[in-house]
């Protein structure tokens, strides 16, 4: 029965898969982007030592004073620069279903990540529509934030110590992690119930590597992209697909005969990336996120985009170390 929708979903699934965060350990690429004024740059990745240990969840503490009124950003701040420009520039993808994908009916890019950007625009302007969405390549998320070509990147982006050397991250706004997608008639409760079964993931991704590390030894099947995994799943060539739960949620939304099971067995904390040149902007963004956790905005955003997959969990707790 699953074969019924292969042609209908393949194009969308393939592009959705391109935005998966699993396996993306890319540092700043300084060979293809010219840094803009005030940008913070770094040496080419090959010349750098491994990143020192850090707490990638710990961001810059918001200021002690209340958020400034929309339209009245502090003089000399990067928020004032954005206000004078008249729009916030958000870097994201257009093919991560539920997080940042192009609506085929309206042509607008929408989703959980896009709403994160709109909430920051609203805090600056009092108007969430004062936002320019710039579609960026998956491998350009770090460099786009670092060189100032966008103000923020919200794109299912995992905060880690290597990236912290190149960009500032906000506090964590979404907790993702690797899970597994199976047929709705499967009795499996987690990936460890698929011992000896074929589980698909993208070749070269950390998701693929993680499948082989499970103690019950599922058989890891590599495909060029996660869209190819979905096709193989619908043709009954594999028993499941494993990657970040955000990507699996998008696949499940396309296939009514599929479900996502089990607890996360990796941690992928998503955060908003910004240039290191403007630490006051990072503190401002964190203040917006802090307010939205407290007033229910985060919960409403979750329910809007991910409510079909269960009740909203508590929002991630902010961690600050500076």
Task: Return the domain boundaries, the chain.
Answer: 2-20+178-261, 45-175+269-320
Is residue 83's pLDDT more than 60?
A: yes
Q: Which CATH number fits domain 2-20+178-261: 3.40.50.10540, 3.40.50.1220, 3.40.50.720, 3.40.190.10?
A: 3.40.190.10
pLDDT in tens, 84-128: 999 999 999 887 788 988 899 999 999 999 999 999 999 999 999
Average pLDDT score over residue span 15-20: 39
Separation between Cα atoms, residue 92 and residue 135, nearest integer Å:
5
Report the b/e string of 207-218 with b at 16+ CB within 10 A.
bbebbeebeeeb
pLDDT in tens, 170-183: 999 999 999 999 99
Share of the chain above pLDDT 70, in %: 84
Kind and range of the H or E run holding 274: strand 273-275
Report the b/e string of 83-112 with b at 16+ CB within 10 A.
beeebbbbbbbbbbbbbbbbeeeeeebbbb
Architecture of domain 45-175+269-320 in this structure: 3-Layer(aba) Sandwich (3.40)
User: CA–CA distance from 137 to each of 15, 93, 95, 226, 237 (Å)?
Assistant: 12, 7, 11, 17, 30
Separation between Cα atoms, residue 277 and residue 291, nearest integer Å:
24
Place of tokens 């407290």: 294
**CB neighbours of 253 closer than 8 A, spacing ≥ 6?**
97, 98, 308
pLDDT band at 317 (very low <50, low <70, confident <90, very high): very high
Q: What is the pLDDT of residue 253?
A: 84
β-strands 319-320, 258-261 pairing: unpaired
Is residue 303's pLDDT more than 80?
A: yes
Share of the chain above pLDDT 90, in %: 61
Q: What is the pLDDT of residue 276?
A: 97
Q: Identify which of 28, 33, 54, 26 has the alpha carbon closest to the alpha carbon of residue 43.
A: 28
Same CATH topology for 2-20+178-261 and 45-175+269-320? yes
Dihedral sign of CA atoms 14, 20, 26, 28 in order: positive
User: In the 8-state DSSP scheme, what is residue 137?
Assistant: -
């Amino acid at each position: 029965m699953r074969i019924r929708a292969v042609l209908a979903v393949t194009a969308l699934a393939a592009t959705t898969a391109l935005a998966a965060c699993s396996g993306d350990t890319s540092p700043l690429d300084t060979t293809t982007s010219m840094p803009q004024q005030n940008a913070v740059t770094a040496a080419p990745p090959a010349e750098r030592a491994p990143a020192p240990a850090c707490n990638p969840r710990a961001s810059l503490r918001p200021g002690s004073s209340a958020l400034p009124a929309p339209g009245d950003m502090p003089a000399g701040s990067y928020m004032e620069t954005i206000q004078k420009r008249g729009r916030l520039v958000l870097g994201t993808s257009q093919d991560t279903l539920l997080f940042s994908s192009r609506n085929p009916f309206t042509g607008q890019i929408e989703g959980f990540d896009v709403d994160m950007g709109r909430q920051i625009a609203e805090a600056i302007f009092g108007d969430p529509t004062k936002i320019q969405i710039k579609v960026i390549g998956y491998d350009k998320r770090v460099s786009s934030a670092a060189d100032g070509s966008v103000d923020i990147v919200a794109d299912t982006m995992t905060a880690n110590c290597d990236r912290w050397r190149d960009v500032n991250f906000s506090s964590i706004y979404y907790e993702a992690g690797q899970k597994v997608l199976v047929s709705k008639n499967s009795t499996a409760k987690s990936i460890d119930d698929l011992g000896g079964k074929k589980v698909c993931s993208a070749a070269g991704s950390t998701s693929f590597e993680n499948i082989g590390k499970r103690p019950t030894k599922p058989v890891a099947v590599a495909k060029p992209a996660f869209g190819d995994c979905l096709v193989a799943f619908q043709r009954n060539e594999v028993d499941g697909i494993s990657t970040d739960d955000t990507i699996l949620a998008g696949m499940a939304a396309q296939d009514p005969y599929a479900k996502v099971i089990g607890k996360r067995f990796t941690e992928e904390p998503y955060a908003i990336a910004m240039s290191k040149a403007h630490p006051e902007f990072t503190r401002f963004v964190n203040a917006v996120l802090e307010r939205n956790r407290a007033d229910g905005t985060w919960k409403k955003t979750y329910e809007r985009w991910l409510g079909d997959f269960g009740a909203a969990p508590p929002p991630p707790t902010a961690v600050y170390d500076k």
